[in-house]
């Protein structure tokens, strides 16, 4: 079981706290709004009414032992900046902070945030990917323009082996696993002689521009 604290219980903060708790983790939820605390109570280990910019109260919570602290405050940029600075100074090792824009993200990084969350931007990119490439079942952005995705095979793939497709050499895209739906089976690192069926889901790793080339094979 991991331990988390979520500071700021707007929509994003509420759902990340609730999801972490439902996954079996210890979650401390913090907000200065009594109504939000009452709403999250029952979906967290402990709900605390307090001002997240109060350094002494933050320090008293022992947040430095948490696996991560998520800062998800509202539209006042100065609030999240001050909270991140306090968390850094009291020794929190991993600070995830929600940013409103790129400039906000840069400042958060400078005052201690180890990871930046762009909820609206990330969701917009995800939705755009799903709309522009409808055979993508799931999309996970990674570092340096690499993506991990579940991909329904284009018609041109059906009936061919991975060796024949030679995706690594042609497109610099890797098939790291395959979900067989009929019958249900999961194959990690499939062999080169695996024959692609229309009922398979390919789990692929590659750069965005390389994956776009595969989309053109439909």
CATH number of the domain to which 58 belongs = 3.40.50.720
Q: Is this prediction's pTM over 0.75? A: no
In a domain, 124, yes or no: no
Looking at residue 141, what is its pLDDT? 59
Residue 140 confidence (pLDDT): 58
Q: What is the pLDDT of residue 199?
A: 87
User: What is residue 153's predicted lDDT score, i.e. its pLDDT?
Assistant: 86
Question: 53 in a domain, yes or no?
Answer: yes
Q: Are residues 113 and 133 in the same domain?
A: no
Which pLDDT value is given to residue 132?
A: 61
Our count of domains for the chain comes to 2
Do residues 114 and 196 both lie within one domain? no
- Three-class SS of residue 35? helix
The single-letter DSSP state of residue 156 is G
* Contact indicator for 55, 7 with CB cutoff of 8 Å: no
Q: Are 54 and 90 in a shared domain? A: yes
Check whether residue 93 and residue 140 sit in a common domain.
no
Regions in the chain scoring below 50 on pLDDT: none
Give the pLDDT score at 30.
97
94 and 8 in one domain? yes
Q: Which of 98, 119, 140 marks a domain boundary?
A: 119
Q: Measured at the alpha carbon of residue 107, what is the angle toward residues 105 and 108, in degrees to the nearest 5?
A: 65
Pairwise CA distance, residues 173 & 162, whole Å: 11
> What's the domain range around 182?
129-215
Residue 113 is predicted with a pLDDT of 95
pLDDT at 90: 95
Do 45 and 103 lie in one domain? The reply is yes
What is the rounded CA–CA span in Å between residue 60 and residue 207? Answer: 45
Tell me: do 113 and 8 sit in the same domain.
Answer: yes
């Amino acid at each position: 079981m991991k331990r988390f604290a979520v500071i700021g219980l707007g929509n994003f903060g509420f759902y990340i706290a609730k999801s972490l708790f439902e996954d079996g983790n210890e979650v401390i939820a913090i907000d200065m709004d009594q109504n939000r605390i009452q709403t999250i109570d029952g979906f967290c280990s402990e709900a605390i009414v307090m001002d997240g910019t109060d350094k002494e109260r933050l320090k008293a919570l022992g947040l430095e032992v948490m696996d991560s602290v998520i800062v998800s405050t509202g539209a006042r940029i100065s609030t999240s900046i001050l909270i991140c600075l306090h968390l850094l100074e009291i020794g929190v090792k991993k600070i995830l902070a929600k940013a409103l824009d790129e400039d906000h993200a840069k400042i958060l990084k400078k005052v201690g945030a180890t990871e930046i969350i762009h909820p609206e931007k990330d969701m917009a990119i995800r939705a755009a990917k799903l709309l522009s490439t409808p055979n993508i079942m799931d999309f996970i952005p990674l570092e340096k323009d690499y993506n991990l995705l579940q991909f329904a095979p284009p018609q041109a793939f059906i009936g061919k082996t991975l060796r024949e497709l030679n995706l690594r050499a042609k497109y610099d895209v890797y098939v790291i696993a395959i979900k067989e739906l009929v019958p249900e089976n999961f194959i990690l690192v499939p062999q080169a002689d695996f024959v692609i069926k229309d009922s398979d889901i390919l789990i692929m790793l590659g750069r965005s521009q390389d994956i776009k080339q595969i989309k053109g094979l439909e």
